[in-house]
Amino acid sequence: MWFDIDLSTLIGASVTGILLFAALTDDEGNYDANRTLFFHPYEAFDAGKRVWSTAALANSKPTMIVPIPIIDQKITARFSTGFNDVYVVLSVCGLLYEY
């Protein structure tokens, strides 16, 4: 299931992309190669536009910084199957503009 994240209180209308910091903690304790947090621009789905972080190992704590195009001051995210006790921290750590 995909869900939308509205960033309009954090970024201006002229921002065309962000650098997103994501920290993911899964305390479920079992190996599951399918535990993935996906991010996508806010628009029709295209597998080539996804970025993701995977917590496949038990008690793993992956982090990532990824560029994501911005459309209508929003991004879209999705948790895959396999998550049980998950914690996520997201932070916009950079703004990209088209010149």
**Per-residue pLDDT reduced to its tens digit, 17-54:** 999 998 887 776 666 667 788 888 888 666 667 777 77
Residue 44's H or E segment, with its range, is: none
pLDDT for 51 equals 78
In the sheet where 74-79 sits, what is the strand order? 2-6, 74-79, 36-41, 51-54
Q: What is the pTM of this model?
A: 0.78
| Percent of the chain's residues with pLDDT above 90 | 28
The answer for residues whose C-beta is within 8 angstroms of residue 56's C-beta and 6 or more apart is 31, 32, 33, 34, 35
| H or E element at residue 27 | none
CA 25 vs. chain centroid, Å, equals 13
> Among positive and negative, which fits the CA dihedral 13, 19, 20, 21?
negative
pLDDT (mean) for 55-74: 81
